[in-house]
Amino acid sequence: MTASPSVSRRRFLAWSAAASAAAVAACVPTTVLPSEGRPPTSATPVTAPVPSGSAAPNRKPAPIPTPSTAPSPSPAAGRRRTLYRDGALADGRSDRLRLGVSILVEDGVIRWIRPADDEGPTGRGAQLRVIDASGSTLVPGLVDAHSHLTMPGGARWIDRGFDPPERLVEVAEANAVLLGRAGVRWARDVGAPRGRDPVDGRERALSLGLRDRWRGIPGYPMIRAAGTWITRRGSLPAGLTVEVGSGDALRRAALGQLEDGADLVKLYLDGPDTDHAPWSVAEVRRVVEAVHARGARVTAHASRLSGARVGAEAGVDALEHGFELDADVAQTMAEKGVALVSTLAVFRSWLTFGRTTRLPRFATEDGRRAIRERQEAAEAAIRIANRAGVAIAAGTDFGGGSTRANQLAWEVEALVEAGLEPWQALGAATWRGGELLGEAEAGVIHEGGPADFSLVHGDPTSDPTALWRVWHVAWLD
């Protein structure tokens, strides 16, 4: 990593108008100033709020901030104004930190990004709270591109999918807190058990009700949800998914998920026969065309090469896991714009279970050997995809896999171990995830955008473990 020296205000503003990156939040020294100027040396500790354990069912969601809500040039006295002063800025698009950066936030919106040694007026007539960001890196709010909000993870993660809906909704509330404290702003839920929602009473994927209730409530993550997995009968334990037996039924089930309110559709391209995909290219392509015609996207679970090949040739929008890829499949993905969502951290999680459980799948030598072999193949698939120019977004698979909701940093570490540069892995966990969501504000920091960033101790463009050291989250403040 090479760090750039402080830049002039003119050059810095030119950069910041095009840049996308972010950061900041929790238990921080601050000073409140009545007007513009540098803070005195004394500081008062402040603790940022975190989400409550459960959302009130009758609470009316507030609108999500958008760039159109950006403050006017003359701040009113009642505005909440915070200046994050003199941090480094990482955007996940290069290995160069921007040093000496100050960010002014007003009512949750980034008013400006300027050099710390040339901030200019900070505005009069309103109190200004200053957070000393020196020695820290401002990081965009992370995007977990593969999550399962209603499930806790752990060594028996599939069993937990059969817990009663009331328990699954409670788990999701706890996961929301874990996500925020870890600096994760967006979660792409790619499968939730179907059941009667204990709050709204609707029979559908439980993630959809959570998404609706959390929308616009401060402290909760931003959610895009796929509804329930769609599988060929016999692929997963009965009762966990929407099971179908024909290509026509597959298409009907996909459209049924959209009618339930899903943002995207999740197909399961691992079937009962591990050597063959459960659906043909033509059958999957019909689903893709029908879903795209509704303005939605299709993603596909594909941990085996057979399913990855079918998904890529059918033109799904993304492949989840992609533990087995070859150069031909990767080339098809690149040509058709099929993204890869990595979930390498699950292997690291499974290997820890070899010491913490007696489950034979993890604790026996044969089990550990099988995990390492799959891990090596999955890491090789990442390198193949990266060389082919496939867009890679990072996910944990928390809940639907063994990992937990606050472990996206583990996936970033795993991507670096697999061969990505640290800054590329950071991009996979920020703006690449935003691209996959189709959300221009996700995983970026820019003037006029939401203050969705966190402060970490260290430089994530050279050291991915810095993402474990989140000490302040701006949107929880």
Q: Which tens digits make up the pLDDT trace of 145-158?
A: 999 999 999 999 99
Q: Provide the token pair at 181.
A: 């404290």
Q: Which amino acid is at 413?
A: E
Q: Pick the closest to residue 475 from 456, 447, 448, 454 (CA basis).
A: 454
- Confidence band of 40 (pLDDT split at 50, 70, 90): very low
Q: Provide the token pair at 195.
A: 């059941």
- Confidence band of 32 (pLDDT split at 50, 70, 90): very low
| 350 class by beta-carbon count within 10 Å (0-12 exposed, 13-18 middle, 19+ buried) | buried
Calculate the alpha carbon distances from 193 to 176, 243, 271, 303 in Å. 17, 12, 19, 20
Range with the largest mean pLDDT of 37-41, 234-238, 450-454? 450-454
pLDDT in the model for residue 124: 61
pLDDT in the model for residue 70: 39
Say yes or no to pLDDT of 457 above 90: yes
Span 398-432, pLDDT tens digits: 999 999 999 999 999 999 999 999 999 999 999 99
What are the two backbone dihedrals, phi and then psi, of residue 136, each rounded to the nearest 5 degrees? -115, 165
The residue that leads in pLDDT, 80 or 255, is 255
CA-based R_g, the chain, Å: 22
- Confidence band of 126 (pLDDT split at 50, 70, 90): low
Q: Pick the closest to residue 476 from 108, 99, 84, 35 (CA basis).
A: 108
pLDDT in the model for residue 37: 36
Q: Is 296 helix (H, G, I), strand (E, B) or coil?
A: coil
Say yes or no to pLDDT of 303 above 90: yes
Mean pLDDT over all residues of the chain?
87
- Confidence band of 122 (pLDDT split at 50, 70, 90): confident
The full length of the chain comes to 477
Record the pTM: 0.84
Q: Which helix (H) or strand (E) holds 328?
A: helix 327-336
Say yes or no to pLDDT of 89 above 70: yes
pLDDT in the model for residue 293: 98
Domains of the chain and CATH, by start: 9-140+444-476 (2.30.40.10), 142-437 (3.20.20.140)
Span 232-274, pLDDT tens digits: 999 989 889 999 999 999 999 999 999 999 999 999 999 999 8
pLDDT in the model for residue 121: 87
Q: Provide the token pair at 213.
A: 């209730």
Span 152-176, pLDDT tens digits: 999 999 999 999 999 999 999 999 9
The mean pLDDT of 17-33, rounded to a whole number, is 38
Calculate the alpha carbon distances from 300 to 42, 267, 325, 375, 395 in Å. 54, 5, 14, 20, 14
Span 328-376, pLDDT tens digits: 999 999 999 999 999 999 999 999 999 999 999 999 999 999 999 999 9
The mean pLDDT of 277-286, rounded to a whole number, is 98
Q: Is 106 helix (H, G, I), strand (E, B) or coil?
A: strand
Cα–Cα dist 75/7, whole Å: 27
Say yes or no to pLDDT of 55 above 50: no
The residue that leads in pLDDT, 24 or 97, is 97
pLDDT in the model for residue 123: 72
Evaluate whether 232 touches 278 at the Cβ level (below 8 Å): yes
pLDDT in the model for residue 17: 40
pLDDT in the model for residue 477: 87
Please report, rounded to a whole number, the percentage of residues in the chain having pLDDT higher than 90.
Answer: 80
Evaluate whether 143 touches 396 at the Cβ level (below 8 Å): no
pLDDT in the model for residue 181: 98
Cα–Cα dist 434/420, whole Å: 19
| DSSP sequence for 341-376 | EE-THHHHHHHHHHHH---HHHHSHHHHHHHHHHHH
